[in-house]
Amino acid sequence: MTGTSPGAIRLLIADDQALVRGALSALLGLEGDIEVVAEVGRGDEVEAAAVASRPDVALLDIEMPGIDGIQAAALLRQAVPGCRVIIVTTFGRPGYLKRAMQAGAAGFVVKDTPATQLADAVRRVAQGLRVVDPGLAAASLAQGDSPLTERETDVLGVARAGGSVADIARILHLSEGTVRNHLSSAIGKTGGRNRADAARIAEESGWL
């Protein structure tokens, strides 16, 4: 990008919405100390792009085709350990924040963050600091951890696609009775009316 200095922060942007991706690139590229070195529209393109461009910071959307931004963040931690990750999302769900931090993200901000604040977040993360939206941080602390076990999370995740108990059992290599037990437990813990409602509640809480 034009206007960058030799010591500019190298930035990768991943967002499946071309308009948003282009706007972020244009706005952040105007900063003299930030250089956008890669842009991708899918989560499963992030790792290869980062290996090729060696960014200092990656801005990752959560909702992307292929894999989501949190999964991409975990892959980046292994593939390009020096790259710091900021999750940028329209979905301000507190459960997402905890998952992002567990995946190694150094920042978590919402998309309506002003460009000047987003640029500042990139700088702070590049310096080794953490940047988290204060409203999300408060909500995350108030909500607590996911009540679901790892297996209940797996079962609800597959159930979200609308498959039958037999389908879920086949995909997860479980017996149908075990799947029913996990679904029943997950419905009880989320307060859902049925498995579809339980999956919706879990997703909106950021547990899936």
- How is the chain split into domains, by residue range? 9-142, 150-204
- CA 50, CA 190: separation in Å to the nearest integer? 37
pLDDT of residue 4: 45
CA distance 62 to 68: 5
Q: Domain 150-204 has what CATH class?
A: mainly alpha
Fold (topology level) of 9-142: Rossmann fold (3.40.50)
CA distance 157 to 105: 22
Statement: residue 46 has pLDDT above 80: yes
Q: 3-class SS at 9?
A: strand
- The reported pLDDT for the residue numbered 1 is 41
User: 71 with 100: CB under 8 angstroms?
Assistant: no
Beta strand 34-40 with 84-89 is unpaired
pLDDT in tens, 89-144: 876 666 777 788 888 899 988 888 888 899 999 999 999 999 988 776 666 655 56
Residue 154 pLDDT more than 70?
yes
Cα–Cα distances (Å) from 31 to 61, 115, 181, in that order, read 21, 10, 54
Residue 197 identity (one-letter amino acid): D
Mean pLDDT of 54-80: 94
Distance CA(30)–CA(42), nearest Å, equals 24
User: Distance between CA 33 and CA 99 in Å, rounded?
Assistant: 30
Question: Could you tell me if 207 and 148 are in contact, meaning their C-beta atoms sit under 8 angstroms apart?
Answer: yes
Name the strand (E) or helix (H) holding 198. helix 195-204
- Token pair 């900021």: residue: 86
Exposure class string for 127-142: b at 16+ Cβ within 10 A, else e: eeeebbbeebeebbee
What pLDDT, on the 0 to 100 scale, is given for residue 115? 86
